[in-house]
Amino acid sequence: MIAALLSLAVLGAGADPGPLRVLGPAPRGEVRRVVTLAPSLTDLVLALGAGERLVGVSRFDERPEVGRLPRVGGFVDPSVEAVLALHPDLVLAQPGPGNRRAVETLAELGAPVLLLPLGTVADVLAAERATGKALGLPGQGEALARALEATRERVRGRARAERRVRVLLVYGFEPLVVAGPGGFADELLADAGAVNVAADAASPYPVYSVERAIQARPELILDASDTEAGKERVRALPGLREARWADVEGQALLHPGPALGKGLEQLFRLVHPGAPQ
Amino acid sequence: MTSVADPLVGTAGAVRFTFARATLVLGGLTGVLLAALAASVLIGEYPVHLAHALAEPASPDGRVLLGLRIPRAVLGALVGASLAASGSALQALLRNSLADPFVLGVSGGAALGATLALALGLQALAGPPLFAFVGAVTAMALVLAAGRARSSPYAALLTGVVFNAFAAAVITCIKTLLTPDRLGEVLYWLAGSLGYEHPRTLLLGGGLQLAALAVLWAESARLNLLSLGDDEAASLGVPVRRTRALVLLAASLSVAGAVALAGLVGFVGLIVPHLLRMALGPDQRLLLPASALGGAAFLVVADAATRVLFPVFHAEPPVGVVTAVLGGPLFVWLLNRKEHLG
């Protein structure tokens, strides 16, 4: 019975958060007061040049531009009251099972909500266009999306001239969490001419078996974690010790958003350090 | 957890149950509950202008008051009443004043059900509450079936403890398979929190809780006799097996419903009946409804405290954290105090 339950849990782990959606009333007139419920969405509003319209952000937001803004809770536990108290014309949220009730309640109580999944590159492109439109800046949204598409084309072209490198992209060492299949990181690895050795995992952010990581013989291990905890132990393992190790700087590969283009270019340099830049 | 019969449960009430005393105590506690509800409705991040909200229910103030604050306060009252009243009944039935309403495997079953629902991404089908309820009822049925074999209250209690440990192991196993963000949701749910439920969910939950509480109160006189021991109760004309089955069923369904609505909110079912038993004596005819009212007031206040803490943490801590932080030290103090007295 337990085995059956566990296999179900694995299947469910990659459940689709659903498409881009609008909940609640449509924004009336010009959108002047925006609340974001995730740092990636704050990045998006800032990249559109509409930072001055932000009136509230999540407690995980670290950008100095929003340092003085009120916090309205986290991704799983936004405070409905704190959001409503800011009288937003638009709430940007990343849909997830944990915040579904809170987000629905926000919409029921009259706050226009734009739900923007950010799991894949296509999601990010759609979110850039939709947010641009919602903020009355369709040109800027389109430009952001076009820029990312152009960067992808350019990097793919350069990667075609290079040998494909076997890469393990690590988000955390204790436990070992890596970039699995089906997410934006996996897509960008492919763009950069890398083979994701964890492509056999069950979800975009799987807790990966250390032995499997050794067996996969990665040539390059990319460290995108923000902590050193457990790193030395993993680094000392046979098969992983011999691989080339490199740090992914910044948050581009942690936060899906307008910085993905920069993240992709960085990824290409890390995967192919000898390639003509 | 000790299985020593507790003198506080076993002795017949030194103070007689009178209509006047019951009216006074229950009336007073109803007043406390109403005050807690009123305070809870006035506390929150959104500055609600009360007169404006009541005059215009469709205004933002009105919608926050009627759509958020009042349903959430009612939810807290329901869950608190259920946990404390079930705790009181189970403590009398199992003859152990340290019995927690979660002992019968209910918490483990509910947590397992909800974890599965979250892991499978079944939120769209009212996942965690429904699965938690099914898990709790299944666990309870298993535990009671196993416990019945020995017809001893301790067999059911121990089976429940073992089941909870088993469920915890399976949950840990599922957690290792989850992605970090989904894991966060599971952990948040397990900590116990009062969210925003649909009115129809509240109505359904409220109906279940009122029915369960009515059954428990109706059985409270027989519960008093049962706490003397099965043989003694039988010789006094109590249908022992029927009464025990009825009380276990009502208490477990009530706790399962509470867990489905709010996750695992600990200590309410332990602390509230304990405190009230010290003040009122062990007579279930009074203790049971008093626990329901006291538990409701306690959880409503604890939930309001999570909202007061929002500006500190930039998040509302789950209400289960508040009840544990208040309840844990209080319980240790009560235990020590009792030992000194005993």
Inter-chain CB proximity A8 and B184 less than 8 Å: no
Q: From B4, B2, B21, B3, select the one nearest B279 (Cα to Cα).
A: B21
Chain A to chain B, count of Cβ pairs less than 8 Å apart?
119
Low-confidence winner among A88-92, B73-77, B120-124, B174-178 (lowest mean pLDDT): B120-124
The answer on pLDDT for B121 being more than 80 is no
Output the pLDDT for position B207: 94
| Mean pLDDT, rounded, for A239-250 | 87
- Closest CA of chain A from B246, distance in Å: 30
pTM for the full predicted model: 0.79
The answer on pLDDT for A219 being more than 60 is yes
Distance of CA B191 to the CA centre of its chain: 14
Which CB contacts under 8 angstroms, 24+ apart, belong to A59-62? A59/B313, A59/B314, A59/B315, A61/A36
Domains of chain A: 17-148 (3.40.50.1980), 163-271 (3.40.50.1980)
Question: What is the Cα–Cα distance from B181 to B333, expressed in whole angstroms?
Answer: 38
Output the pLDDT for position A5: 40
| Mean pLDDT, rounded, for A153-175 | 92
Greater model confidence, B250 or B3:
B250
Q: Predicted confidence band at A19 (pLDDT cuts at 50, 70, 90)?
A: low
Output the pLDDT for position B127: 65
Q: Which of A5, A80, A97 sits opposite B121 (nearest CB)?
A: A97
Within 211-250 of A, beta carbons closer than 8 Å to B belong to: none
Q: Report yes or no: A102 at the B interface, CB cutoff 8 Å.
A: yes
The answer on pLDDT for B11 being more than 70 is no
The domain locations on chain B are 7-341
Inter-chain CB proximity B314 and A73 less than 8 Å: yes
Q: Which residues of B touch A205 (CB under 8 A)?
A: 179-181
Inter-chain CB proximity A81 and B64 less than 8 Å: yes
Q: Predicted confidence band at B143 (pLDDT cuts at 50, 70, 90)?
A: confident
| Mean pLDDT, rounded, for A133-145 | 94
| Mean pLDDT, rounded, for A235-246 | 88
CATH number listed for the domain at residues B7-341: 1.10.3470.10
Output the pLDDT for position B9: 44
pLDDT tens digits, A97-107? 678 778 888 99
| Mean pLDDT, rounded, for A15-26 | 68
Q: Which residues of B touch A72 (CB under 8 A)?
A: 314
Output the pLDDT for position B124: 55
pLDDT tens digits, B220-252? 999 999 888 888 888 988 898 888 888 888 988
Query: Strand ranges (DSSP E) for chain B?
Result: none
Question: What is the Cα–Cα distance from B122 to B107, expressed in whole angstroms?
Answer: 20
Portion of chain A with pLDDT greater than 70, in percent: 92
Question: What is the Cα–Cα distance from A271 to A167, expressed in whole angstroms?
Answer: 8
Within 112-171 of A, beta carbons closer than 8 Å to B belong to: 171
